[in-house]
Every structure is written in structure tokens, then in C-alpha cells.
């Protein structure tokens, strides 16, 4: 955030005053960084009318440091919005509208913003949105499809926040790795950029989803009626909106690679983002990584990243990173050399658990058998959390204050045999 701000002369670029909207898992830190930038100069200085240069809100997890008194904190929830998420969304819209005649809107987005900034469209309730999103997530909907539906159930997403403002500027940390990586229209459901999707697209996603029976009838009727479409790319209401992606999964991979090299590992990176069913992707990554380290005769670290999905069919606890590792247990057990696999969410939270992910090595299957743990049963019940907790192999480090997706790492010390 600080590096991105250093490239912009805010004092000359943005009209005064600024209404700040920070939403996402990195909202607190991004808001603090923005307000601290040039704090002795124009950003926090009061204008001639005595009003603060910056006022606004942050919706996301609390982090270290203190927000300026002119920035309100909303304890929004993720992955499902709560009343604070809705209150933050409505305050954001009101603040944006207040800049139409004077000032500018600054938006700081990070992963989770779709849930942390929520305003239901007319004739819909917050619970309608929660039920719909949860049903689609449980059915394994890709993030682009999920956010397409979210945008058409919302009064703030899909460019509507920027359309409510005059001048706007957005900085975003991306957790989007789909067909169009770091797509601004998908990050946080694109509240400040044109939306290339339509009500018809959202309706088609809902109608063809295995989750259709769980979608509230009011949502289906809303999508069938259509109505005021989200602003499309090129909409004149967005002519004064600018956007910059300042953080991606590549940055996380570069950081992991530096740390591995410092520890004496040769590094191999897999450029293609991981995707699809978590347990399948975990097995595939492990097989590819083991091929990369075969015969190396020296320590090697294989790094990949992305975002997978989980089709929830059981009632166990877990997350996509934990299922990623659990799905790879068989491949690890059959490895001819010693290897350790880890997968974790860069936000420090994996699904509805307190873990960021899990680790396993070539001994994990044997240790599980000795503890009478069945990995196939755990996968069938989506119970990866309890499986790895019993082995003391969960990664738990708490919220990190950022989110650029998931990172997967396989370590091998060379040709040492598996144990």
C-alpha cells in the first residue's frame, strides 16, 4: 500500500475532501497506511473549512495500530455478511454520494470485500443474499460466478459505488485467479468498475446450479425481473473512476521463494494458478512437484498458488487448504523420497475454522493409520480439520491482515528415502 501511494501525488491528484472506504481482510492495515501517507502534509490536514481531509470507514478484521478518529470501523463478517457489513455498505454509499458535488471517493479493496461491504437490492433482504451465496459456495461455484450473482443482488457492487460518487480512485489487493487473473470486476464484486455481466448471466448461473433448490424464491424472482443493470464498462458514470491492482498471488510466491532460497533450497515455481476441486488439485500439485524434485540430489522447494473449491457434502469441519493437503496424502505416501507438503490461506483463515491450512509428509498416512484415522472418510465428510488436528498438523497463525489467495509448498531434501 505504501509503495503504491508513493507513486501518486494525492494532494494534486484528488480533490478535497476525501471519503475513504476500506473493505476486506486487509482493510484495517490499508486504511492506516493510506491515512499515514504524508500524514504531516495534505492527506490528514484539515481544509480551509475546518473539515478533515480524510473521513470514512473500514470494514474488516481489526489489526494492529489505530485508525484515525475520522475513520469508522465496522466489524463486518466473512464469508457471510452481517448487519455490520450492511451498515458499512450503506455508509459507503452515502459517503460516495456526498462527493458528487465536492471531493473524491477513495476505495481500498482486499479479499473478502464482497461479504464485508453489503447492501441488498430493493425487495431483497440480507438473509436472501446470505442464503444464496452460501448455497452457491457449498455447491463449489467459482468465484467469478459467485460474484456475478452477488452483483445482481446488490445496490453497491458491480460499479454502483463509483457510480454514486463523482471522482473515485481504487487500490486493490487481488485474490482472484480465474480465467482473467486479478480481474477488477471480480475483486470484491467490482464496486468501482464496470460490470460486463448481466441479470441474465446471473439467472443462468442460479438456474444451472445444483444449489437451485436452496436459493430463496425472492432471489430467483428478482433475477427474472431484471431491471436497472449494473453500470457496464464504458458507462459515463464511471468516466472519472481509476483503478490499480497493487497486490497479487505472485507477490506471495516471490516472498516464499526468497525465504526458501535463504534456507538453502533450490526453488521451482508453478506459474499456472491452482483451481478446481481442492482434493484433486492437491493430489495433482503433489504429483507434479514430486516429478520436479526427483533425482535432484539437493534440497528443493516447489511453490504454487491459487484458489480451489470444495463441494460440501458432509457436515465436518475444514477448508480448501486442509482438503488440498488431505487429498494429497496418498501421493505423499507413495513418494520414493522424503517430502513435506503445506498449503495455507494467505489471510490466515481456511474456511470456517481457526486454521490457515495444514501440513503433511511421507509419514502422515502411516501416522493416521496408527491413530485409526481414515483419510477417505474424512474427505467424504469434509472433516479435514479434525483429521489434521488429531495429528497436530494444522497451520494456525491467526489473521494476517491481507489476502492474495492460497500458497502451496512442497519441500524435499533430495534423494533421501521416504519414512
311 contacts 410 by C-beta, under 8 angstroms: no
DSSP secondary structure code for residue 312 in this structure: -
DSSP type of residue 120: B
d(C-alpha 121, C-alpha 225), whole Å: 12
The predicted pLDDT at position 9 comes to 64
In the sheet that 394-395 helps form, which strands lie side by side, from edge to edge? Answer: 266-269, 300-306, 406-417, 337-345, 357-361, 394-395
Say whether 328 sits in a helix, a strand or coil. coil
Q: Say what the pTM is.
A: 0.84
User: Measured between alpha carbons, how far is 93 from 300 in angstroms, rounded to an integer?
Assistant: 50
What is the C-alpha to C-alpha distance for residues 292 and 302, in angstroms, rounded to an integer?
A: 8
**Distance between CA atoms of 82 and 181, rounded to whole angstroms?**
28
Cell output for 42: 495534505
Q: What CA–CA distances, in Å, run from 314 to 21, 29, 317, 405? A: 38, 36, 9, 24
- Which uninterrupted H or E stretch holds 257? helix 249-262
pLDDT (0 to 100) of residue 419: 44
User: What's the Cα-to-Cα distance from 315 to each of 199, 327, 387, rounded to whole Å?
Assistant: 33, 18, 14
Per-residue pLDDT of the chain (419 residues; tens, 9 = 90+): 777 777 766 666 677 789 999 999 999 999 999 988 745 444 444 444 445 578 999 999 998 889 989 999 999 998 899 999 999 999 999 999 999 988 999 999 998 999 999 999 999 999 999 999 999 999 989 888 999 999 999 999 999 999 999 899 999 999 888 778 899 999 999 999 999 999 999 999 999 999 999 999 999 999 999 989 999 999 999 999 999 999 999 999 999 999 999 999 999 999 999 999 999 999 999 999 999 999 888 999 999 999 999 999 999 999 999 999 999 999 999 998 999 999 999 999 999 999 999 999 999 999 999 999 999 999 999 999 999 999 999 999 998 888 899 999 999 986 655 54
- Cell triple for 391: 495429528
CB count in 10 Å sphere of residue 42? 18
Predicted local distance difference test score (pLDDT) of residue 12: 64
Q: At 109, is the secondary structure helix, strand, or coil?
A: strand
Q: Where are the beta strands (DSSP E) in 225-331?
A: 241-247, 266-269, 300-306
Q: For residue 44, give the nearest of 66, 17, 22, 6 by alpha carbon.
A: 17
Residues in contact with 53: Cβ distance below 8 Å, sequence separation at least 6, in sequence order = 16, 17, 18, 42, 43, 44, 45, 46, 47
Are 275 and 177 spatial neighbours (Cβ–Cβ below 8 Å)? yes
Q: Are 400 and 30 in contact (CB under 8 A)?
A: no
C-alpha cell belonging to residue 372: 485409526
Q: Which is nearest to 60 in space by CA: 372, 401, 357? A: 401
Q: How far is CA 236 from the centre of its chain?
A: 29
CA atoms within 13 A on the CB side of 359: 12
Element (H, E) at 330: helix 329-333
Q: Is 54 left (phi over 0), alpha (psi -120 to 50) or beta?
A: beta
**Helix H or strand E encompassing 217:** helix 217-225
Amino acid at each position: 500500500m505504501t509503495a503504491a501511494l508513493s507513486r501518486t501525488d494525492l494532494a494534486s491528484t484528488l480533490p478535497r475532501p476525501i471519503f475513504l472506504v476500506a473493505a476486506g481482510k486487509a482493510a484495517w492495515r490499508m486504511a492506516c497506511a493510506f491515512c499515514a501517507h504524508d500524514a504531516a502534509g495534505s492527506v490528514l490536514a484539515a481544509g480551509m473549512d475546518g473539515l478533515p481531509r480524510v473521513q470514512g470507514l473500514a470494514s474488516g478484521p481489526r489489526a494492529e495500530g489505530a485508525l484515525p478518529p475520522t475513520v469508522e470501523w465496522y466489524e463486518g463478517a466473512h464469508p457471510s455478511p452481517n448487519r455490520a457489513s450492511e451498515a458499512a455498505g450503506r455508509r459507503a454509499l452515502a459517503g460516495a454520494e456526498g462527493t458528487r458535488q465536492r471531493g473524491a471517493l477513495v476505495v481500498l479493496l482486499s479479499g473478502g470485500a464482497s461479504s464485508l461491504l453489503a447492501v441488498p437490492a430493493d425487495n431483497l433482504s440480507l438473509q436472501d443474499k446470505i442464503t444464496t451465496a452460501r448455497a452457491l459456495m457449498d455447491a463449489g461455484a467459482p468465484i467469478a460466478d459467485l460474484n456475478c450473482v452477488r452483483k445482481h443482488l446488490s445496490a453497491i457492487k458491480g460499479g454502483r459505488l463509483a457510480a454514486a460518487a463523482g471522482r473515485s480512485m481504487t487500490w486493490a489487493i487481488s485474490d482472484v485467479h480465474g480465467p482473467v487473473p486479478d480481474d477488477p470486476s471480480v475483486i470484491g464484486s467490482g464496486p468501482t468498475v464496470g460490470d460486463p455481466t448481466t441479470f441474465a448471466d446471473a439467472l443462468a448461473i442460479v438456474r444451472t446450479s445444483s444449489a437451485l433448490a436452496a436459493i430463496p424464491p425472492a432471489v430467483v424472482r428478482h433475477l427474472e425481473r431484471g431491471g436497472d443493470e449494473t453500470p457496464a464498462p464504458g458507462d459515463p458514470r464511471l468516466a472519472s473512476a481509476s483503478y490499480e491492482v497493487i497486490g497479487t498471488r505472485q507477490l506471495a510466491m516471490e516472498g516464499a521463494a526468497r525465504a526458501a532460497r535463504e534456507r538453502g533450497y533450490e526453488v521451482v515455481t508453478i506459474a499456472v494458478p491452482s483451481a478446481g476441486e481442492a482434493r484433486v488439485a492437491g493430489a495433482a500439485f503433489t504429483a507434479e512437484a514430486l516429478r520436479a524434485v526427483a533425482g535432484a540430489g539437493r534440497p528443493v522447494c516447489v511453490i504454487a498458488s491459487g484458489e480451489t473449491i470444495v463441494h460440501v457434502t458432509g457436515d465436518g469441519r475444514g477448508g480448501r487448504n486442509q482438503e488440498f493437503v488431505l487429498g494429497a496424502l496418498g501421493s505423499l505416501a507413495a513418494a520414493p523420497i522424503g517430502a513435506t507438503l503445506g498449503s495455507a490461506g494467505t489471510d490466515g483463515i481456511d474456511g470456517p475454522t481457526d486454521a490457515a491450512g495444514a501440513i503433511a509428509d511421507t509419514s502422515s498416512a502411516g501416522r493416521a493409520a496408527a491413530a485409526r484415522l481414515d483419510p477417505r472418510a474424512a474427505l467424504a465428510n469434509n472433516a479435514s480439520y479434525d483429521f489434521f488436528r488429531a495429528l497436530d498438523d494444522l497451520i494456525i497463525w491467526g489473521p494476517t491482515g491481507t489476502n492474495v489467495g492460497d500458497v502451496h509448498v512442497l519441500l524435499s531434501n533430495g534423494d533421501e528415502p521416504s519414512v
